C-alpha cells in the first residue's frame, strides 16, 4: 500500500476480479448446485462470504447483525437458487437477496449498539502488511458509516466489489444514472473524510473521477 494514500480498492476483497473465465466457472457452480451438489454451493459461499459481510455491514453497521444477515441470505439463496435463470450471473442475484435480508432484519429488530469491528484479514500474511491493511480497512469502514445508506451500498458494490453501474442498478432497483450519482457523491464525501486523516490529497483525485 502506498504511504500516505488510502483508496477504496486497497481494501482486500474476493469480489473484485470478475473475469469471463471466473464468471463461466461460477455459472458452472450454479448449475451444479441446482443439480443438488452441496459442495458446489460451498464454493459459492467461499467466493462471496467476505464481500457479502462487507456489504451487509455497510447496511446494518453492526458486526453481529451483519453476520446473521449473511448467514440467512446464503440459506435463502440456496432455497431459491432454482429461480436463477441459466446463464445469469450469481453475484447480482445474490446481492439482491442479501440486501432484502438486511432490510428485513433491520425492520424486525432494534439493532444492538456497540463499537464497530473491522473485517478480519485472512491468516498467513506478513504481519506488517496485515496491520496496514487492517488500519486501511478500519479507516474506510468508519468513513463509509458517515455516508447515506444508498451511497454506502453503491460505492461498496462499485469500488469494492467491481460491479458495473448497470448491475448496481439491477441490484438496488435504481437507474444507472442514479448509481453514477451515488458513487460520485460518495467518493467526494470520502475524499473529504479520509483525505485529511491520512494526508491523501496528493494522488487521491482518482476517487472523484468517473471510471
Residues shown for the chain: 211
Calculate mean pLDDT across residues 138-163. Answer: 83
Which CATH number do you get for residue 166?
A: 1.10.10.10
Which CATH number do you get for residue 87?
A: 1.10.1740.10
Residues 93 and 140 in one domain: no
> Final residue of a domain: which of 48, 83, 110?
110
Q: Angle formed by the axes of helices 176-198 and 165-172, to 10°?
A: 100
Q: State the pLDDT confidence band at 88, using cuts at 50, 70 and 90.
A: confident
Is the pLDDT at 65 greater than 70, yes or no?
A: yes
Cell 474506510, located at residue: 140
Domain holding 139, by residue range, is: 126-211
Identify the weakest region by mean pLDDT among 1-5, 82-86, 142-146: 1-5
pLDDT in tens, 91-143: 999 999 999 999 888 877 654 444 444 444 344 445 445 545 555 566 777 77
For 66-96, b/e burial (b = at least 16 CB within 10 A) is bebbbbbbbebbeeebeebeeeebbbbbbbb
Calculate mean pLDDT across residues 55-81. Answer: 90
Q: State the pLDDT confidence band at 195, using cuts at 50, 70 and 90.
A: low
Residues 93 and 134 in one domain: no
**CA dist 129 → 3, 64, 141 (Å):** 12, 26, 18
Residues 158 and 206 in one domain: yes
Cell 468517473, located at residue: 210
Calculate mean pLDDT across residues 69-89. Answer: 92
Alpha-carbon distance 208 to 188, whole Å? 6
Q: Give me the pLDDT at residue 61, please.
A: 81
Identify the weakest region by mean pLDDT among 15-19, 47-51, 78-82, 147-151: 15-19
| Cβ atoms within 10 Å of 102's Cβ, excluding its own | 25
Cell 440486501, located at residue: 99
178 is a domain residue = yes
Residues 134 and 103 in one domain: no
Total of domains in the chain: 2
Alpha-carbon distance 79 to 109, whole Å? 23
**Residue 93 in grid coordinates:** 442475484
pLDDT in tens, 5-62: 333 444 444 344 456 778 888 999 999 999 999 899 999 999 999 889 988 988 888 8
User: For residue 178, how far is the Cα from the chain centroid?
Assistant: 18
Residues 85 and 147 in one domain: no
SS3 label, residue 125: coil
Ranges of beta strands (E only) in 43-180 are: none
Is the pLDDT at 205 greater than 80, yes or no?
A: no
> Final residue of a domain: which of 57, 83, 110?
110
119 is a domain residue = no
Q: Give me the pLDDT at residue 108, please.
A: 75
Q: Give me the pLDDT at residue 101, please.
A: 93
Instruction: Provide the whole-model pTM.
Output: 0.63
Residues 62 and 21 in one domain: yes
2 is a domain residue = no
Q: Give me the pLDDT at residue 136, please.
A: 59
61 is a domain residue = yes
Alpha-carbon distance 98 to 75, whole Å? 10
Residues 138 and 196 in one domain: yes
More confident residue, 205 or 42: 42
Amino acid at each position: 500500500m502506498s504511504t500516505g494514500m488510502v483508496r477504496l480498492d486497497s481494501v482486500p476483497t474476493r469480489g473484485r476480479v470478475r473475469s469471463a473465465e471466473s464468471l463461466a466457472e461460477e455459472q458452472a457452480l450454479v448449475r451444479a448446485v441446482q443439480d443438488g451438489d452441496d459442495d458446489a454451493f460451498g464454493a459459492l459461499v467461499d467466493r462471496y462470504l467476505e464481500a457479502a459481510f462487507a456489504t451487509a455491514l455497510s447496511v446494518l453497521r453492526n458486526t453481529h447483525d451483519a453476520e446473521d444477515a449473511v448467514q440467512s441470505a446464503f440459506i435463502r439463496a440456496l432455497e431459491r437458487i432454482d429461480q436463477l435463470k441459466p446463464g445469469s450471473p450469481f453475484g447480482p442475484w445474490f446481492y439482491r437477496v442479501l440486501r432484502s435480508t438486511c432490510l428485513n432484519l433491520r425492520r424486525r429488530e432494534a439493532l444492538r449498539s456497540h463499537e464497530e469491528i473491522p473485517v478480519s484479514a485472512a491468516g498467513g500474511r506478513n504481519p506488517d502488511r496485515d496491520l496496514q491493511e487492517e488500519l486501511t480497512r478500519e479507516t474506510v469502514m468508519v468513513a463509509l458509516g458517515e455516508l447515506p445508506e444508498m451511497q454506502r451500498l453503491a460505492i461498496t458494490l462499485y469500488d469494492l466489489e467491481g460491479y458495473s453501474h448497470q448491475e448496481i442498478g439491477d441490484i438496488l432497483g435504481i437507474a444507472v444514472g442514479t448509481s453514477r450519482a451515488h458513487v460520485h457523491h460518495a467518493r467526494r464525501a470520502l475524499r473529504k473524510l479520509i483525505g485529511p486523516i491520512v494526508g491523501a490529497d496528493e494522488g487521491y483525485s482518482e476517487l472523484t473521477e468517473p471510471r
